[in-house]
Amino acid sequence: MERSPVAVVIVTYQSEQVIAGCLDSLPDDVRVIVVDNASTDGTVAAATRPGVEVLRNEVNGGFAAGVNAGIKAAAGHDVLVLNADIRLHPGAVAALRATGKPIAVPRLVDESGALSHSLRRRPRVAGAVAEALVGGGRAGRIGLGETVTDDKAYQGAHAADWATGCAWLVRREVIERHGLLDERYFLYSEETDYMLRAGGVWFEPRATATHIGGEVSTNARLWSMLTANKVRLHRERHGRFAGFSMWLAMVLNEGLRARAPKHRTALKGLFGMRRWPTEVASEGPGYLCFSAQDWWYHNRAHSDFQLLRRVAKHRKVLLVNSIGLRMPSPGRSTQFLRRILRKAKSVAMLVRRPIAETPNFYVMTPAPLPFYGKPWLRKLNSVLVRAQVRLVCLFLRMGTPVVVATIPTAWDVVQPMRHKGLIFNRSDRHSAFPEADQGTIAGLENQLLSNSDTVLYVSRALQQEESALTGERAHFLDHGVDVDHFTRRDELPADIASIPGPRIGFFGSLDDYLVDFDLLERVAQEFPDASVVLIGDATCSMERYDRYPNVHWLGFRSYEQIPGYGSAFDVALMPWLDNDWIKHANPIKMKEYLALGLAVVSTDFPEVERYSDVIRIASGEADFIDLVRLTLKDGGLRTPAERRAAVLTASWDSRARELMRLAEDAGRR
């Protein structure tokens, strides 16, 4: 059986001083992927060199999240996970591969060449008690401690329960069978859990690596996290009673050594520990989100939905469907009657839990009076909506929640409400919406900008423009993407499979204030031998395309269906109007296209410039047509795998963790 190629995955965080040495020690015949967890030093610059793929995470999602991103980028490869402070000795990779074992680990030495005791026994309460009473070294020598301290155990190849996670080679078949690392641990114990799930490791002394060593032995916060995660690991593997027993053993160990600062910190952490680390803890305030969309009829790819449904894995969440920016009116609003009817249906849904596997996620639609031009009508509407929301929060036992407002009209509702933090999710400049009462909406935006504890931006341009008003309360939180969901499908839906190729496609909302429909018509005219496929709900008449037999408007398709349709595109389009809205927007579909590995042609706007190495950006209509023609010919910038790799670190889970951290830190100030 032919062996899979090897990819080296290195997760970095503030690793400027050590990453170059690690990269220098790698053999030339391996693929190298560096996943950086939002370092603020020179790590990325030090890692950027020919032959090294650098995936940049906007937030520190933790070690497991970084490894998982690297594994996803290395599809079809065996994966050698390394810390940045590892130096491989010649022949180490070949020796690990030659074992043919599911997970293989090398012999580790320190910088002086002395043996490092890297092998571990399966965690047991008895072993933890022995370590507490006689010390880890003595407990190891008598076979009770977790660390294998007998030097003879490091002289020959053999199976072991697990080993320190600074260097380990995992075969692709193991990844396919056992999946990814458990990101709930955030740091420490995730590799222990994985190795034990896989049935242990194989120690190969012919493979040697130097481990410079980390901060855990000197950093009190890291030591505390390591100690608590030992308890969490035991609880997850053996149940609550066993977990409590391990907790008692850890308390004994840290209590007997409490004279040292790191042990005092760990002891305090054990008594105050949550079910999971604070980055993903299940205890904490509820979240009340005023969304700019409606769950029941809008595309569920919107950031409100993606972020809050993931927050609901750890907190109770009530998502309030959009209370609107304006009242639809005949002659001014498109599809007037349809909008009224669908909002009425949404109100009739009352309060529901729409995701069976996420029982803490609730959705409601209040009955609003969407009149915002006159102060007394705004006041009446806010009282009505607030009364409904408060009643539901009381029923759900939400307590005092963190409030997340995405739509400016939420300001009148939330202003008098008690909260543990007010977050303005500044996803768009809503006052640029053409049908809104722009002056009134701008005033509401300014109130939220001035009074929120934290303002989150997805547009750097908008963040910069409003920096004088928001100051240090402003934070950039980029959109994420569900890379597992947006994976190319081999089997296409029947309706798009029947459309002849090549296919030039667009999926998403066909909004008349955002999409350049004239440009889409020009594409249809210029490429009569290609099929132009449009997928999405339209806010304007699509009759103008009836005269083009190569245009296929398939209408709305659910979020679950979209990856299958997108997989059929030969070229994916982002044909935006050049207006104030797009200048301050960050379309989620950009990352969804890239996650599917699609070749993308876009009009120019600020946020797309960050992906200019994988997306073709047009300077005008004629250039847009030329770039579509070129992409049909050469397949686009980079390979599909490289395009997908550009967004692998942008998980919604990491974005949700960052939202929670910012929200709850603000609430404690």
Q: Torsions phi, psi of 357, nearest 5?
A: -80, 0
Closest CA to 206 of 105, 285, 326: 105
d(CA 292, CA 521): 30
Indicate whether 563 and 598 sit together in one domain.
yes
Range in 99-108, 198-207, 299-308, 444-453 the model is least confident about: 299-308
**Is 628's pLDDT higher than 90?**
yes
- Quote the CA–CA distance of 305 and 656 in Å, as a whole number: 11
Indicate whether 80 belongs to any domain. Answer: yes
Average pLDDT value for residue range 619-645: 94
* pLDDT at res. 449: 92
Which range has highest mean pLDDT (157-166, 184-193, 442-451)? 157-166
- Going by pLDDT thresholds of 50, 70 and 90, the confidence category of residue 339 is low
Q: What is the pLDDT of residues 402-452, one digit of tens each?
A: 999 988 888 888 889 999 899 999 887 777 666 656 777 888 889 999 999
Residues 324 and 473 in one domain: yes
More confident residue, 642 or 207: 207
- Looking at the fold, whether 15 and 98 belong to one and the same domain comes out as yes
Among 7-21, 210-224, 233-247, 470-484, where is mean pLDDT lowest? Answer: 210-224
128 lies in which domain range?
A: 6-211
**By the 8 A CB rule, do 629 and 597 touch?**
no
Handedness of CA 308, 312, 313, 314 (dihedral sign): positive
Q: Do 48 and 197 share a domain, yes or no?
A: yes
- Do 228 and 325 belong together in one domain? no
Q: Are residues 197 and 237 in the same domain?
A: no
Q: What are phi and psi of 33, to 5 degrees?
A: -125, 120
CA distances from 139 to 132, 146, 203 (A): 9, 8, 21
Pair 530, 468 in one domain = no
DSSP string, 180-226: S--GGG-SSSHHHHHHHHTT-EEEEEEEEEEE---STTT-HHHHHHH
Q: For residue 354, what is the domain's CATH number?
A: 3.40.50.2000
Asked whether residue 140 is domain-assigned, the answer is yes
pLDDT at res. 324? 66
**Does a structural domain hold residue 669?**
no
In the prediction, which pLDDT does 328 show? 41
3-class SS of residue 232: helix
Residues 424 and 510 in one domain: no
350-356-357-359 Cα dihedral, nearest 10 degrees:
40
Closest C-alpha among 96, 7, 73, 85 to residue 43: 85
Would you give the end-to-end CA distance of the chain in angstroms? Answer: 59
What is the reported pLDDT for 436? 58
**Domain final residue, candidates 250, 279, 308:** 279
Asked, for residue 23, whether it belongs to a domain, the answer is yes
Helical H segments across 375-437, by residue range: 375-396, 411-414
**pLDDT of 334 strictly over 60:** no
Domain boundary among 153, 186, 211: 211
Q: Mean pLDDT throughout 139-157?
A: 91
Asked if 386 and 238 sit in the same domain, the reply is: no
pLDDT digits (tens, 9 = 90+) for 476-497: 988 889 888 999 998 999 999 9
Reply yes or no on whether the pLDDT at 121 is more than 50: yes
Structure tokens at 336: 């007037």
Residue where one domain finishes, among candidates 161, 179, 211: 211
Quick check: 281 pLDDT over 60? no
Predicted pLDDT of residue 327:
44
Say what the pLDDT of residue 213 is.
73
- The reply to whether 659 falls in a domain is no
* pLDDT given for residue 665 in this prediction: 73
H/E element, 248: helix 240-256
| Same domain for 289 and 275 | no
Do 296 and 445 have their domain in common? yes
Burial of 546 (0-12, 13-18, 19+ CB in 10 A): exposed
Number of independent structural domains in the chain: 4
Q: Are 198 and 266 members of one domain?
A: no
∠ CA 484-583-472, rounded to 5°: 80
CB proximity list for 390: less than 8 A, separation 6 or greater: 417
Q: Is residue 667 part of a domain?
A: no
pLDDT digits (tens, 9 = 90+) for 8-45: 999 998 899 999 999 999 999 999 999 998 888 999 99
CA angle 260, 264, 267 (to 5 degrees): 140
Q: For residue 280, what pLDDT is reported?
A: 44
The answer to whether residue 653 is domain-embedded is no
Structure tokens at 340: 């009224």
Residue 330 banded pLDDT, cuts 50, 70, 90: very low
In a domain, 251, yes or no: yes
